[in-house]
Amino acid sequence: MSIITGVQAEAFDDFAEDFEDGVLAIPGGRVSDNQGGWINTDPQEHPCKALVTDYSDFRRASLGIPGTDRLVLVLGGSLPAGVIPAKGHKITAPDPAKGLEPSTFEVIAKTGDPAAALYELQAR
């Protein structure tokens, strides 16, 4: 048994009420149209708990993060097993900058902890 076993579930239990309802959309694949082209399949959508915020000025300057990018935090325990946010996915969550109106962001980069309890998504 690992020290990180169960951290994801504990983090979800402790913080889910502080996060907002969001949706992670994973782009669909492409299948052949049998005529030399491609047909895009429907994206998969997964409900999740997300929180949209801004990067600190220090973090933006030191990491070279553009001023237009936002930080979206996603609780790993709110996603189905095996679903991990990645570059190119889209996340829709209430945006405090817009009075908590839902905004859709494209994931540019992802970081997280070893227990996958919290994903930090650089989004634009």
Give the 3-state secondary structure of residue 37: coil
CA 101 from centre of chain: 17
Give the structural domain span for 80. Answer: 7-28+42-123
Percentage of residues in the chain with pLDDT exceeding 70?
A: 98
Within a domain: residue 24? yes
Q: Which of 47, 87, 45, 44 is nearest to 69 (CA)?
A: 87
Residue 26: which pLDDT band, with cuts at 50, 70 and 90?
A: very high
Within a domain: residue 33? no
Which amino acid is residue 53, in one-letter code?
Answer: T
Output DSSP code: residue 33: -
Within a domain: residue 35? no
Q: Torsions phi, psi of 70, nearest 5?
A: -120, 160
Within a domain: residue 2? no
Within a domain: residue 105? yes
Whether the pLDDT of residue 52 is over 70: the answer is yes
Looking at residue 10, what is its pLDDT? 92
Within a domain: residue 36? no
Within a domain: residue 71? yes
Within a domain: residue 67? yes
70 within 8 A of 4, measured Cβ to Cβ: no
Kindly report the CATH number assigned to the domain that includes residue 58.
2.40.10.270
Based on the structure, what is the number of domains in the chain?
1
